[in-house]
Amino acid sequence: MDNREAKGVHLAMEYLTKNTQSLLDTGHADDSELSAKGKAVIVIGGGDTGTDCIGTALRQGAKSIVNFELMGKPPEERAENNPWPLWPLIYRVDYGHEEVAEVFGADPRQYHLMTKSFSKDAEGKVIGLNTVNVDFKDGKLIEIDGSEKIWDTQLVLLSMGFIAPEHYLSDDADIALDERGNYQATYGEYATSQTGIFTAGDCRRGQSLVVWAINEGRGVAEKVDEYLA
């Protein structure tokens, strides 16, 4: 993508971890270059990570905050193709959305938007983000002609989801992976393809929730205990 390397375009986790580090190290006295203070911030992608970016940028004193979603606004109630017990794909308002609405007067989310490229100035700093509106027809993503737009920005945070755990350890220990690149092990058993090596939580099931991490953490502890005994 054009100008992805522009200064001011960062992965969400880079931004969030630097913010926490700065808070712990100096109480934010170090004035991190990643701070959103006074900047027009765009967060691409939703989810818990996107919400944390929105909330953090707000606390740092962002001038404005917009959150891009590729998909449309979810329905208020379950759709017919999303029955119980599937996870309900419905419209939710998280703390970051609520706080931005309180401060700036509107929910930060903008739907059906695809980023095409970034623009940068002579110093290589991001100054704009170019989008097009999209729709889904017959399972295909369609760009809507004439909907191109340029958004002013000085800080872009990329929060489009996690792919899989890093593989330096599984490569070294020759641990089998599942089709999504997670460490392969059955839920409730937690044993990897290598005897004496166990896996649990996000590493086994993919990016998930704290409640699952707690559940699998307890489960794997029991299995390791059995193995050692």
Ligand X SMILES: Cc1cc2nc3c(=O)[nH]c(=O)nc-3n(C[C@H](O)[C@H](O)[C@H](O)COP(=O)(O)OP(=O)(O)OC[C@H]3O[C@@H](n4cnc5c(N)ncnc54)[C@H](O)[C@@H]3O)c2cc1C
| Contacts with ligand X, residue ranges (CB under 6 A) | 16, 48-49, 52, 169, 201-203, 208-210, 213
- Crossing angle of helices 47-59 and 12-26, in 10° steps, is 40
If DSSP codes are grouped into helix, strand and coil, which group holds residue 48?
Answer: helix
Beta carbon nearer to ligand X, 79 or 169 = 169
113, β-bridge pairs? 133
Beta carbon nearer to ligand X, 69 or 202 = 202
Residue 173 CA to residue 188 CA, distance in Å, equals 22
Beta carbon nearer to ligand X, 71 or 209 = 209
Place of tokens 């989801």: 161
Whole-number minimum distance, CB 145 to ligand X, in Å?
36
Whole-number minimum distance, CB 51 to ligand X, in Å?
7
Give the alpha-carbon dihedral of 19, 21, 22, 23, to 10 degrees. 90
Beta carbon nearer to ligand X, 70 or 197 = 197
Whole-number minimum distance, CB 70 to ligand X, in Å?
19
Whole-number minimum distance, CB 146 to ligand X, in Å?
36
- Which residue's Cβ has the minimum distance to ligand X? 201
Residue 81 CA to residue 187 CA, distance in Å, equals 27
Whole-number minimum distance, CB 149 to ligand X, in Å?
28
Beta carbon nearer to ligand X, 94 or 107 = 94
**Residue 205 and residue 221 in contact, taking contact as beta carbons nearer than 8 Å:** no
Beta carbon nearer to ligand X, 66 or 220 = 220
Beta carbon nearer to ligand X, 12 or 127 = 12
Whole-number minimum distance, CB 202 to ligand X, in Å?
4
Pick from 53, 17, 11, 49: nearest CA to 36: 53
Whole-number minimum distance, CB 142 to ligand X, in Å?
31
Burial of 183 (0-12, 13-18, 19+ CB in 10 A): buried
Residue 201 CA to residue 207 CA, distance in Å, equals 8
Pick from 215, 52, 51: nearest CA to 204: 215
